[in-house]
Structure 1
Amino acid sequence: MDTRELLLTQLQAIHNKSGWFVSMNEALTGVTEEEALWTNHQSANTIWGTVNHLLYYNRSYLNRFKGQGGSPYTIDSNDESFDNHNHDSWADTTRAFDTLMTEWTDAVRSSSKETLNEKSPDLTHLTIHNAYHIGQIVDIRKQQGVWDDELGVD
């Protein structure tokens, strides 16, 4: 397996092809706006906030990968990456994540070998970061009592 195939496999795992852990598509299956905003205490992240956070970092790193700068907007702290800066609906937020991951896949498929070799350490860390937060989303859903074991990770 070469670098491109490895990165594409990682991107699929966090986007839409469950394996050892569920993909984001599976983790968000059936999540309502109310569930996306739920938290069990003030300092805990919500599902919606976590998806916003991943949108921010995935977009920032994709822009860098493509040589288009970095962050889509300025934040003063990591905490602000969890905010809904675009005031998107829940449906728009999940659609934006799906679209962004498709953009990532397309960018990796079409990039040069040199770009892949240079950027692969950042991208592998980014996919691990996504997997970590997908696990948090599944845990939040389990706390809510709405996780469907049929989706995986019982």
Structure 2
Amino acid sequence: MKRVLVAVVVFVVASCGFAVAQQEKPMTLKAVLLEQLRSTHDKAEWFVPANTAVAGLTPAQASWTDKSGNHSVGQLANHLVFWDREMLAKFKGETPAKFDGNNDETFNNFDAKSWDTTVKQLDQVMTDWENAVEAADDAKISLWASRIAHVGAHNAYHIGQMVYVRKLEGVWDPNKGVK
């Protein structure tokens, strides 16, 4: 029994050493947050990023909803634009756009005629987040770290929904990262 325990401990320690050896240098908090923001924006890593999730859709496809009440890709993108802008304004010390508190409106005010603009706005606000985090000092990053991480998690959640809706609609290319 002792030999098995020793073997397990040696394996775990060796594995940890291998994992540490794979990482070139310790990451800063800023670097971790930027990595998360980029992976939900335009860098395919563990999951499909937003730019891939919205790419190639026509306005009609972006407006499609199923009969069970899921939001359309356009509604989801519009929602992300709203909340990413809201939090970014606060991060930058600016006054966010007026908001009556009705979260449904962040989805429902999507208009198919503005699909191309919505795609550009989504890309822009995600780029703006990356630039703002990159420019921030360590004190601000430390103060905002949890909220920035939640922005990334919120983005990832809704991007997953976008891919799911596209699969339901039959307009998802599985070669883009999700079979």
Structure 1 counterpart of 2:45, from 14, 19, 26: 19
Whole-angstrom CA distance in 1 between matches of 2:87 and 2:78: 14
Residues 122 and 88 (structure 1 numbering): CA distance in 2 closer, same or farther, change over 3 Å?
farther
2:67 corresponds in structure 1 to 41
**Does structure 1 residue 10 correspond to structure 2 residue 30?**
no
Whole-angstrom CA distance in 1 between matches of 2:41 and 2:130: 10
The TM-score, its normalising length taken from structure 1, stands at: 0.93
| Deviation of 1:85 (Å) | 6.8
Count residues in correspondence.
Answer: 153
Whole-angstrom CA distance in 2 between matches of 1:26 and 1:100: 16
Equivalent residues of 1:138, 1:147 under 8 A apart: yes
2:106 corresponds in structure 1 to 81
**Does structure 1 residue 52 correspond to structure 2 residue 78?**
yes
Residues 85 and 22 (structure 1 numbering): CA distance in 2 closer, same or farther, change over 3 Å?
closer
Whole-angstrom CA distance in 1 between matches of 2:28 and 2:113: 38
Structure 2 counterpart of 1:92, from 102, 107, 117: 117
Equivalent residues of 2:75, 2:110 under 8 A apart: no
Cα RMSD for the two superposed structures:
1.6
Bigger shift: residues 76-85 or 109-118: 76-85
| Deviation of 1:4 (Å) | 0.8
Instruction: Say which one has the larger Rg.
Output: 2
Whole-angstrom CA distance in 1 between matches of 2:98 and 2:110: 9
**Does structure 1 residue 29 correspond to structure 2 residue 55?**
yes
1:69 corresponds in structure 2 to 95
Q: Structure 1: which 5+ residue stretches go unaligned?
A: none
Whole-angstrom CA distance in 1 between matches of 2:53 and 2:104: 22
| Deviation of 1:118 (Å) | 0.3
1:127 corresponds in structure 2 to 152
**Identity within the alignment, %:** 37
Whole-angstrom CA distance in 2 between matches of 1:28 and 1:5: 26
Q: Structure 2: which 5+ residue stretches go unaligned?
A: 1-26
Whole-angstrom CA distance in 2 between matches of 1:84 and 1:40: 18
1:140 corresponds in structure 2 to 165
| Deviation of 1:41 (Å) | 2.1
Whole-angstrom CA distance in 2 between matches of 1:88 and 1:35: 12
